[in-house]
Structure 1
C-alpha cells in the first residue's frame, strides 16, 4: 500500500466531485423532479455501480494500458500524474479558465510515461484522445436531435411535466454512465495505491465493494461542497439556464458515456456536456449560444493537454536524472 498515493486519491476524488459532480448536479436546479439531496445520492451510487455493471476496462486503461507501469514505478507515476493534473486544473480554474480533469490526467500520464523511460503505448493514448475529441461532437449532434423531438412539445402546457419525467430517468443514467466511464479514473488511482492492479499493459483492475462505496462517498462529499459555487456559475455558461437544455444535455452525455464505457475508453464529462449544450442551443439558433464562453473553454482544453504533459515529463525527467527512477 502506498500511503502518499492513497492520500492523493482521496484528494482527487473530492476535487473531482467538486468539479465534475457539482457540474452535473447544478443542472437539477432548473427542474424539481430530482431534489438536491437525491441528486447527490444518485451521483455517489452511480460511481459505485458503474464498474459493477460494465466492468473495470476503463480503469485498466488508466492504470496500465496507456503506460505499462510495473511495481513501484506505477505508484510513483500515478502519484505524479495525480498531483500534476490537480495542480493544473485548480490553477486554471482559479484564473477563470475552466478545464476538464480527465484531459489533464491523460496528459500527465502520457507525459510521465514518455520521459520516465517506462514507455508509452501511443496507440492507446491516441484512442483515448480521439474518443475525447469525438464525444463533444457526437453529444452535440445527439442533443440537436433530442431537442428537435422536444421542440414539438415546447408550447404544450404539459412540457414541464414531460421534461421532469425524462430528467428523472436521464440523470440516474448520467450518474451511472459517469461511474462506468470517466469516473473510473478514481478507481484506477485507488487500485494502484492499494495494489489491486495486474502487471503491464494487459493488467486488470480489481474493484472491491468497500472501495467502490468509499469512492462514491468521497465523490458525493466533493459534489456537495462544490454545488453552491457551480450553481452560481451555471447561468454564466455557454447557454442561458433552461430546463430543456439541461435535460437534453443529460440525455446526450449519458449516451456518450455509456457508449464509451462499452468499448473501455473514457470520455470527459466536461467536454461532452459542453458539446451537448452547444448542440442543443445551436439547433434553435446560433445566437442562443454564448460563443465567447465557448472559445474560452476550447482554449482551456487546448492548453491543458500540453501543459500537463510537459510538467509531468519534466518531473519524470528530474526524477530519472536524480536516480529516483
Structure 2
C-alpha cells in the first residue's frame, strides 16, 4: 500500500466532485423535483453502485492498460506522478477560470509518464479512450436534439414544469449511475493501485470492495457539495441559459453516452459529454440560443489540457529518473 498515493486518491476524489459532481448538480438547479441533499446522496450511490452493476472495465483501463510500471512500486509511483500532475493542472486552470476536463488531463498525464519513464505509451488504449471521449459529445448532442424535438411536441404549456420534474426524478438517478459505470471509475482505479488491488484481478476488472466504493462515493459527494455554488455561477454565464427542458434533455443524452462508453470499457468524459448535450439541446431550437464563443473557448481549453499534462508529467518523470528515484 502506498500512503502518498492514497492521500492523492482522496484529494483526487474531492477535486473530481468539486468539478464534475458540481457540474452535474448545477445543470439541474432549475428543477426542484430532486432536492439538493437527495441529489448529493444519489451521486454518491451512483459512484458506489455503477462498478457493482456494470463491472469495472473502465477502472481496469486506467489501472492496467494506461498505467505504465508493470506492477508494484513502479506502478504506484507512475500513478502518483499522474494524479499530482492532473490535480496541479486542473486546479491551476480552474483558478484562471479556464474550463478543462479532469479525465482528459488524467489520460494526458498517464501518457506523459509512460513516454518519459521508458515503459512506452500504450497508444492502442490511449486512442480508444480519446476516440470514445471525442465521440461521446457528438453522440450526446444528437441524442439531445432528438429528445428536445420529441419532448417539445408532447409537453403542454400548463404542465411543462410538472412533467419535466417527473422526468428529472427518474433521469438524475440514472445519470448518477451512468457516471459511476463510466467516467467515475478513474477514482476507483487510483485507489485500487494505492491499495495494491489493481493487479490481483487481471483481465478487464479491478477489485471493488464495498468499503472502497462507499469511501469513494462519500468523498465525491463531499467535493460536489463544496464546488456546487461556484459551478452554478459559472454555468449561468456559460454555454446557454439552462432551461428545465435543456437540463432534462442533457441528463438523458449524457446518461446514454456514459452507459455506452461503459460497454466498451472506456470513459466518456462527462464534462465533454454534458457540454455536447447542452449544445445539441439548445441548437435544436435555434443556433442563436447557444453562446458559441463560450463553446469555442471550452474546445480550445480541452485541446490545451492534453499536451499540458503530457508535457508536465513527462518532465516530472524525467526529473525523477535523472535523480535516481525512478
Q: Aligning the two structures, in what range does the TM-score lie when normalised by the shorter sequence?
A: over 0.9
Aligned positions of 1:65-104 closer than 5 A: 65-69=65-69, 70-104=71-105
Aligned mates of 2:291, 2:204 — CA distance in 1: 44
SS of aligned partner of 2:114: helix
* Contact in 2 for aligned 1:85/1:101 (Cα 8 Å): yes
SS of aligned partner of 2:29: helix
Distance change (3 Å), C-alpha of 1:200 and 1:49: closer
Aligned mates of 1:65, 1:148 — CA distance in 2: 40
Aligned mates of 1:297, 1:283 — CA distance in 2: 20
Cα deviation, residue 154, structure 1: 4.7
Q: Could you give the per-residue CA deviations for residues 213-256 of structure 1, whole angstroms, max 9, x where no partner exists?
A: 00000001000111111122221110102100100001000110
Cα deviation, residue 152, structure 1: 0.7
TM-score (structure 2 length as normaliser): 0.97
TM-score (structure 1 length as normaliser): 0.97
RMSD across aligned positions (CA): 1.3
* Contact in 1 for aligned 2:140/2:277 (Cα 8 Å): yes
Aligned mates of 2:12, 2:240 — CA distance in 1: 29
Aligned positions of 1:1-325 closer than 5 A: 1-69=1-69, 70-198=71-199, 202=203, 204-325=205-326
Structure 1 unaligned blocks of 5 or more: none
Structure 2 unaligned blocks of 5 or more: none
SS of aligned partner of 1:163: helix
* Contact in 1 for aligned 2:68/2:113 (Cα 8 Å): no
Which piece of structure 1 moves more, 191-200 or 177-186?
191-200
SS of aligned partner of 1:152: helix
Aligned mates of 1:146, 1:210 — CA distance in 2: 38
Aligned mates of 2:68, 2:61 — CA distance in 1: 10
* Contact in 2 for aligned 1:48/1:215 (Cα 8 Å): yes
SS of aligned partner of 2:154: coil
Cα deviation, residue 272, structure 1: 0.2
Cα deviation, residue 202, structure 1: 4.0
Which piece of structure 1 moves more, 14-23 or 226-235?
226-235
